[in-house]
Amino acid sequence: MTSNTASSLSFSAAPNGWRAALGDPQEKDITVVPIIGWQTTGENTSVEPVVLFDNTREPVISTVRSTLADWSGGSYLHQILAPGIDLRDVPEGWTVADPYQA
């Protein structure tokens, strides 16, 4: 685990296969992104997923909390997917964007 004492953050790399499913009611879609690590803050003992949006020419590494704060329209964390776990309870009529699905 790496510690950044200047901002009281700790980071631990996630094993391969963890994903976060983020729901967007305005677009009626769920975007699945890889979790690359877990971050804690000195403020509390909760663990925050750190995700990768590996867009070409504009990759983004962010926490789920920061991502959802930047998105509008009631976007939410739909599900944390452990390796081997399938996405479930997708609202009817929504699309799923999961570039890593085989």
Are 66 and 18 spatial neighbours (Cβ–Cβ below 8 Å)? no
pLDDT score recorded for residue 5: 45
Sign of the Cα pseudo-torsion (49, 75, 61, 95, in order)? positive
Answer whether residue 9 shows pLDDT above 80.
Answer: no
**pLDDT above 90 coverage of the chain, percent:** 55
Answer whether residue 75 shows pLDDT above 90.
Answer: yes
Q: What is the mean pLDDT of residues 68-84?
A: 90
pTM exceeding 0.85: no
56 backbone dihedrals φ, ψ, rounded to 5°: -70, 140
d(CA 50, CA 38): 6
Domain ranges of the chain: 2-84
Where does the pLDDT of residue 4 fall: very low under 50, low under 70, confident under 90, or very high at 90 and above? very low
DSSP per residue over 24-47, as a string?
A: ETTTTEEEEEEEEEEEEETT-S-E
Summarize pLDDT for 18-50 with one digit per residue, the tens. 999 999 999 999 999 999 999 987 666 788 899
DSSP state of 7: T
Which residue type does 26 have?
A: Q
